[in-house]
Chain A
Amino acid sequence: MAQQRFVWPLISFVFVFGLWELAGRWPISLAFPPFSKTALALLRMTVDGSLPKAYLSTLQPLVIGIVLCGIAGIGFGIGMGLSRTIEWFSLPIFIILQAAPMAAIIPLITYIYGIGLTAKVLAVVVLAAPVVVMNSYKGIRNTNASLVQMCRAFLGTRRQEVVKIILPHAGALIFAGLRLGLAMGFIGIVIAELMITPTGIGDLISYHSSVADYPEMFAAIFSIIALAALAIHGLERLERKLFPPEIRGA
């Protein structure tokens, strides 16, 4: 049975990569290389070190940005869920920001903070923060009312209510917010590097595109999407391990 689990993903990979190969060989466009050439380019770029080097400068702002969101964003979201006053002041803003195309701010960030690390970190934070804050807030506000009442009936203080009931209950949603924030962070870092800074994976994509090295460009894009998918999948696995659905108490 263990082998069975891998059969469909395998067929699925073969199906999509096969279509890609056919489309590239046909070709649908001169700028559309087949899968095999892209894979070779990916191998080449990994071996010659250009890809690992690019990732070093791409992942640094991403990690810093997500950690910042994790601390400040979750903290603020929890505050918003616990305090009616903070909620009153900030909920409408975050509801709008969550629906808004925050990427529009990125050009402004460039022209203030230049093209350095700060600008990239800000791009990640601006895109990731709304969903991190809103998820933490929702996690706190969705607390099972009956559990809170139970805590009060057994003479729990407000502090105990928050520490022993509300926070453990909100844990799963808060963590899911971090995962969604990471997905937004990847979008932010890619836009930032494509638009602003000629460094990292974005530079690799723009450079190879400008000199018409399409297999290399595809390989760079393929790698960032694969990395994002793996990172998010990893967080999802961790989430299910830390907060199995049956003990979440939704």
Chain B
Amino acid sequence: MPAEAIVEVRGAGKSYDGTVEALRDVSLALPQGGLSTLLGPSGCGKTTLLKIIAGLIPPSAGEVWVKGKKVDGPGPERAFVFQDFALLPWATVLRNVAFGLELRGVTPEQRHDIARGYIEKVGLKGFETSYPHQLSGGMRQRVGLARALAVDADIILMDEPFSSVDEQTRRKFQEELLDLLKIERKTVIFVTHSIEEAAYLSDQIVLLSPRPGTVSRIIHPAIERGGKNPDEIRRDKNYLDVVDEIWQILKRYVV
């Protein structure tokens, strides 16, 4: 373990209606301050696992511990970024970003102040009064990210955040996410089905096998990021090796 574990999953399993088994006996330790990816083909239960950690879905077996406490629902130390953005269509960017704080009863002046700061950090300055339908997919997900950052949680859970965003936007967003996380010092748990995305972003990659999802392998990419620009990383030998290693494992699961 490179750092102390902030999230621990112990023997988690999930079955629906007692028949469909989505997850079986998953045990994981996710290090503080790192970016961990849950990677696997569609239907491997990676989103289910993330939502169990978030406390949105109760596990049918096992338990999840976050910061030494057992999870029995969502908590203030965890924030979620949704695959479909989950923005209120009738609310402005400002209200959407401040929504987590609004639910906690923070006064309007305070929460709008905080929200404005994060809107600027995710690069949406000037769009405070826009509505979600006026933004592109990439911009909407920036709103979702700003909302998660605004509640000042230690852990950010991201469910395929870039899957509804085009490839160019996605790359730009990945680079900015890494920059942002350097400053914000969050623990991130990230679900994706993109091998390149996992290899590019992660300190730790958890490979899940499909149906029922079990941990197939845990990889710690030893990519030297310090001082390199994103394009150099994408040509880095270690990066390319990790991508290849993952593909060799995952292609067994593809029909």
Q: Which residues of A contact B (CB under 8 A)?
A: 144, 146-147, 149-157, 160, 164-165, 168, 246-249
B131 in contact with A153 (CB, 8 Å): no
B89-A150 in contact (CB<8A): no
22 residue pairs from A and B, CB less than 8 Å apart: A150-B80, A150-B86, A151-B103, A152-B56, A153-B79, A154-B79, A154-B104, A155-B74, A155-B75, A155-B76, A155-B103, A155-B104, A156-B103, A157-B103, A164-B88, A164-B99, A164-B102, A164-B103, A246-B133, A247-B133, A249-B88, A249-B89
Docked complex Cα distance between A248 and B90 (Å): 6
Whole-angstrom distance between the Cβ of B237 and the nearest chain A Cβ:
39
- Complex-state Cα separation, A149 to B51, whole angstroms: 10
Interchain CA distance A151-B73 in the complex, whole Å:
12
A168 B90 Cβ-Cβ under 8 A: yes
Instruction: State which residues 21-72 of B face A: CB under 8 Å.
Output: 54-56
Type the 1/0 row for B92-128, where 1 means its CB is closer than 8 Å to any CB of A.
0000000110111000000000000000000000000
Which residues in chain B, 179-214, are within 8 Å of chain A measured between CB atoms? none
Q: Is the CB of A154 within 8 A of B89?
A: no
A153 touches B133 (CB 8 A): no
Taking the closest CB of chain B, its distance from the CB of A129, in whole angstroms, is 28
Residues of A within 8 A of B12 (CB): none
- Complex CA gap A246/B90 in Å reads 8
Also in contact, A153 and B89, with CB within 8 A (given A164-B103, A246-B131): no
Q: Which of B73, B84, B90, B99 contacts A154 (CB 8 A)?
A: B99
Q: Which residues of A sit under 8 angstroms from B80, Cβ to Cβ?
A: 150, 153-154
Residues of A within 8 A of B56 (CB): 149, 152-153
Residue of B nearest to A157 (CB): B103
Interface assignment of B146: CB less than 8 Å from any CB of chain A: no
CB atoms of B88 and A165 under 8 A apart = yes
Q: B99: which A residues are within 8 A, CB to CB? A: 154, 164
The answer to whether B82 and A146 have CB atoms under 8 Å apart is yes
Tally of chain B residues near chain A (CB < 8 A): 25
Closest residue on chain A to residue B103 by CB atoms: A156
Residue of B nearest to A248 (CB): B89
Interchain CA distance A157-B103 in the complex, whole Å: 8
In the docked arrangement, what's the CA distance between A113 and B102, Å?
52
**Structural contact, A153 and B84, CB atoms closer than 8 A:** no
- Check: B151 CB closer than 8 A to any chain A CB: yes
Chain A: which residue is nearest B96 at the CB level? A150
Q: In the bound complex, do residue B133 and residue A150 qualify as a contact, i.e. CB atoms below 8 Å apart? A: no
Q: How far is the CB of B50 from chain A (nearest CB, A)?
A: 11
By a CB distance below 8 angstroms, the chain B residues around A154 are 74, 79-80, 99-100, 103-104, 147, 151
Q: Which residues of A are found within 8 Å of B90, using beta-carbon distances?
A: 168, 247-249
Interface centre among A151, A154, A156, A160 (most CB of B within 10 A): A154
The chain B residue with its CB closest to the CB of A146 is: B86
Query: Which residues of chain B have C-beta atoms less than 8 A from A151's C-beta?
Result: 103
Q: Which chain A residue lies CB-closest to B85?
A: A146
Cα A156 to Cα B73 with chains together (Å): 11
| Distance, CA A165 to CA B99, complexed state (A) | 11
Which of A149, A155, A246, A249 counts the most chain B CB atoms within 10 A? Answer: A155
Q: Which residues of A contact B133 (CB under 8 A)?
A: 246-247
Inter-chain pairs besides A146-B82, A150-B82, A154-B103, 12 sampled, C-beta below 8 Å? A147-B86, A147-B88, A150-B80, A152-B74, A153-B78, A154-B74, A154-B79, A154-B99, A154-B147, A155-B103, A247-B89, A247-B131
Cα-based distance from A157 to B104 in the complex (angstroms): 9
B20 CB to closest chain A CB (Å) equals 18
Which chain B residue lies CB-closest to A246? B133
Q: Find out whether the CB atom of A246 lies under 8 angstroms from the CB atom of B89.
A: yes
Pairs A-B, 10 closest by C-beta atoms: A249-B89, A150-B86, A154-B100, A246-B133, A153-B80, A156-B103, A247-B90, A146-B86, A247-B89, A153-B74
Q: Across the two chains, which residue of chain A brings its CB closest to B86? A: A150
**How far is A147 from B89 in the complex, measured between Cα atoms in Å?**
10
Note all chain A residues with C-beta closer than 8 A to B103: 151, 154-157, 160, 164
Residue of chain B at shortest CB distance from A152: B74
Instruction: Report the separation of the CA atoms of residues A151 and B56 in the bound assembly, to the nearest whole angstrom.
Output: 10
Q: In angstroms, how far is the closest chain A Cβ from the Cβ of B113?
A: 18
CA distance A249 to B91 in the complex (A): 11
Which chain A residue lies CB-closest to B150?
A: A154
* Closest A residue by C-beta to B151: A154
